[in-house]
A and B are shown apart, each in its own frame.
Chain A
């Protein structure tokens, strides 16, 4: 049937196409993969906070990668030497008014290294190629194999917003200026840093997730909020650094500091938990530790 439809040679049977698809990150490449799936009613508070932050992180990564799923899942629409183009397709939510496409360029770095740049772009239906606006950009450089290397992804929400693309219809993008992801999965520890920068009128100026994963399953996640204000209007920053072992046992420390004096921070609290996620040690600033959670030696990290 396909042959009849083509009436001539057609198809996507190409080894080169594989390079483009291998260059695109997957959830498993840059998502947090930690042993924090279990939660109980009596799980440590900071464990639950850590778990929620990782879930949020993975959700954002997943949403971001969702924009390029079409590329990995479908053959290119056009091939132009070292360029592949997917689309234009009707935008999922605005099929009659907006189009979306993805462009990937391969750079000739060397015969053993792969470098790709890519763009997800939108434009109003009926406009020409000059109207394409990049909604997301990214790049990737392989190291060792096609699937290991360093890369970055940038979600340019405000650029699209300025181009009248209805970015704010997505609740997760309201007040977002841009979001940047850097990742390096060349060797362990795998590092992924996700930074969100909001518009100036947002309640929070920015947030950063810094994730690290070791081969034995241990890892860490630091999430940092900048620009929150105190009740009296003083801008402060809050940070939580969580660390865990491959077994799932871990600890988290919450700190805060004035934006104006980043080197002077205040420890807000510490939780340590065991494999069962239940707190083995707990400290809160201004509160007296209650036995048996008052012994720091119960912390494995």
Chain B
């Protein structure tokens, strides 16, 4: 067994090959275990894109990486037991593959929290050392571990690895490459950073982007592990250099026999994607999906064409110039490679930037919501003659992520009025009904679609003051003040970083006691409003 040090601190990207090429005589069977967990348990703040990053890695490996869907296991937001169960299952599949005489490759990808030598899977933990031991002992010919998490460089540090732009192997070469490669998104003392704009962690984003084709420096329509790492390293360091947390440096270590490059993705026969011809202007082309997030980037250099694989769909292309944007819309049809012609782009001001970024909320957010509601009691006689259905105007003040992330606490006020009439022994008594409410809500909120859409549910306790004034001036006004507990269910769609529309339903129980008799009863309320985040 050879022990390879990284050596290429300042050299260009890897030219040598690491692993056995796909053209090897033996069939290579690829297995992948992809794990993402947004939660890290106590003393950690929830991540926003860990699970999403895992989905993206799963997609690129199954679409372009030669991993059959049946051999790709995606574990999202599960604990340690589920992780090890999935790990063991992959090990068993690898063992079966080896019994069939196949060469086997096992990719483990993890995106989530890591701290003090543990991967944090929700409230459970998995020792990094144990993962390394299991990976090292796995029967796969090639084992690749990719860890995108804070301080994940600990996984590589034991082998003396450091962050470097690329790694290089000096070896006599052998197609029977065997060994272990570990990649981490950050050094042992660095945080792995996420980005609203790209809707993921920097490292995973560029790793996926590279695997889709932008890392193909050799222009052979294949992306090797070294190409992908070099690309992800360079882009991650560049993009995080100016961040408040400081530059983030991916690291690697490996322990190998044999010498050949490992092709991770191959899109030579896959036409779905974007092709940028050699004569196209240089620069970075951002491919923005319909949700406003960057789906891919293409680094176009002079006199070189580029190709990147993308799923069918509509995209917008953005290239930034010093004084303006060049933007355009494209549609990638199934099975077709879209050739990006510069004539398809037009000049646009920076204000037309199609990149919205993910709507991620950092820290406590205060919002004010104005809206209208319709309230009605379930019981017909009550609705007809006691508390008529009422339209209301409401004002909500909410604090999100105050008690804990994902929780919201709010106070609300609403007022409304309507007309009703009551029939007492044949005498119709018209009245004006009015209502004032003040409530407080504690709810949990879940975000979807890169954070633009959120659903929430919780409990509300309100004080309600109802009053009715009869048209007959001889009858005194009547009032009732009481508490009303209820359930809240709603959804919020963010229009921009400051504005959102909100739709909400409430089920409430009015504590109504009169004449020494409990007449409590339920009512519903539907609300729609627009909120502004301060």
Contact = CB atoms under 8 A, between A and B. Distances in A.
Which of A3, A10, A12, A147 has the most CB atoms of chain B within a 10 A radius of its CB? A3
Interface string B418-444: 000010111101000000001000000
Interface string A153-169: 00000000000000000
A75 interface: yes
Contact of B474 (A26, A113, A114): A26
A75 B481 CA distance: 14
A144 interface: yes
B482 A18 contact: no
Contacts of A9: 480-483, 511-513
Contacts of A262: none
A18 B423 CA distance: 10
Contact of A146 (B426, B480, B516): B426
B514 A13 contact: yes
B362 interface: no
Which of B422, B465, B474 has the most CB atoms of chain A within a 10 A radius of its CB? B474
Contact of A12 (B426, B463, B480, B516): B480
B88 to A, nearest CB: 59
Interface string B458-489: 00000111101000001110111111000000
A145 B427 contact: yes
B515 A79 contact: yes
A18 B475 contact: yes
A13 B521 CA distance: 14
A114 B425 contact: yes
Contacts of A147: 427
Contact of B475 (A2, A11, A72): A72
Interface string B347-360: 00000000000000
A22 interface: yes
B102 interface: no
A90 to B, nearest CB: 20
Given A22-B424, A79-B515, A145-B425, A14 B463 contact: no
Contact of B478 (A2, A3, A8, A17): A17
A170 interface: no
A292 interface: no
Contacts of A12: 476, 478-480
A145 to B, nearest CB: 4
A280 interface: no
Interface in A132-155: 142, 144-147
B131 interface: no
Contacts of B190: none
Contacts of A14: 478, 514-515
Nearest to B428: A145
Given A73-B476, A75-B476, A10 B424 contact: no
A114 B476 CA distance: 20
Nearest to B437: A3
B385 interface: yes
A118 B386 CA distance: 26
Nearest to B484: A9
A80 interface: yes
Contacts of B474: 21, 26, 72
Contact of B427 (A22, A75, A79): A22
A147 B427 CA distance: 7
A128 interface: no
Contacts of A11: 466, 478-482
Nearest to A6: B481
B185 to A, nearest CB: 55
Interface string A75-88: 10001110000000
Which of A11, A26, A142 has the most CB atoms of chain B within a 10 A radius of its CB? A11
Contacts of A22: 424-425, 427, 475
Given A2-B465, A9-B511, A79-B516, A19 B483 contact: no
Nearest to A80: B516
A3 B483 CA distance: 9
Contacts of A215: none
B481 A2 contact: yes
A74 B426 CA distance: 23
A15 B422 contact: yes
A42 interface: no
Nearest to A23: B425
A76 to B, nearest CB: 9
A127 interface: no
Nearest to A149: B425
Contact of B466 (A13, A73, A114): A13
Interface in B232-248: none
Contact of A8 (B425, B476, B479, B483): B483
A16 interface: yes
A288 interface: no
Contacts of A113: 425
B424 A3 contact: no
6 contacts: A2-B465, A10-B481, A12-B480, A16-B515, A19-B424, A146-B427
Given A3-B464, A18-B429, A145-B425, 6 more contacts: A3-B481, A8-B482, A9-B482, A12-B479, A15-B385, A15-B424
Closest 10 CB pairs of A and B: A11-B480, A13-B480, A9-B482, A146-B425, A145-B426, A3-B481, A146-B427, A145-B427, A13-B478, A79-B515
Interface of A: 2-3, 6, 8-19, 21-22, 26, 72-75, 79-81, 112-114, 142, 144-147
